[in-house]
Structure 1
Amino acid sequence: MASVAAKVMSTVSAPYGVLVTAAELAEKIADIKSAESCDCSVFAFLSEVSPKLQHSFIDEMNVSKDAVTAVARKFSDLAGYKLPLAI
């Protein structure tokens, strides 16, 4: 696992005991259904991982930035505050 993915996964997985791989997280952060189901691993990624590391992970995992932005906007609406990727 690459350094960026390892850092992201330790932030997302450890506190919540979520068993998700980097590839699974990459899919989830680009899937609007993650916001609709309030997926805690996606919310942790969007709210607890630094914006710089978020962008690095998105690039490393070849995730659609537009899709992640849509998910972040939905989570921002649900949370009641702006998340860094909800631009």
Structure 2
Amino acid sequence: MASVAAKVMSTVSAPYGVQVTATQLAEKIADSKSVDAFDCSVFAFLSEVSPKLQQSFIDEMGVSKDAVIVVAKKFSELAGYKLPLAI
């Protein structure tokens, strides 16, 4: 696993005890169904991972940034505050 993914996964997995792979997380952060499921790993990615590391992970994993922005906006609405990728 690349160092970017390892850093992201330690931030996302450790606090919540969520067992998700980097590939699974990459899929989830671009899937609006994650919002409907209140996926804590996705919310942790969007709220606890630094914006620079978020972008590096998105690039490294080949995720559509536009799709992640849609998910971030929806989670931002639920959370009641602006998340970095909810631009």
TM-score normalised by structure 2 residue count: 0.99
Does residue 32 (structure 1) correspond to residue 32 (structure 2)? The answer is yes
By how many angstroms is 1:34 displaced? 0.2
Q: How far apart are the structure 2 equivalents of 1:36 and 1:75?
A: 9
Root-mean-square deviation over aligned CA pairs? 0.3
How many residue pairs get matched? 87
**Structure 2 unaligned spans of 5+:** none
Does residue 21 (structure 1) correspond to residue 17 (structure 2)? The answer is no
Q: Deviations over 1:20-78 (max 9, x none)?
A: 00000000000000011110000000000000000000000000000000000000000
Identity of aligned residues (%): 84
Which 4+ residue blocks in structure 1 deviate beyond 2 angstroms? none
Hey, what does 2:52 align to over in structure 1? Answer: 52
TM-score normalised by structure 1 residue count: 0.99
Given residue 16 of structure 1, which amino acid in structure 2 is its aligned partner? Y
Given residue 28 of structure 1, which amino acid in structure 2 is its aligned partner? K
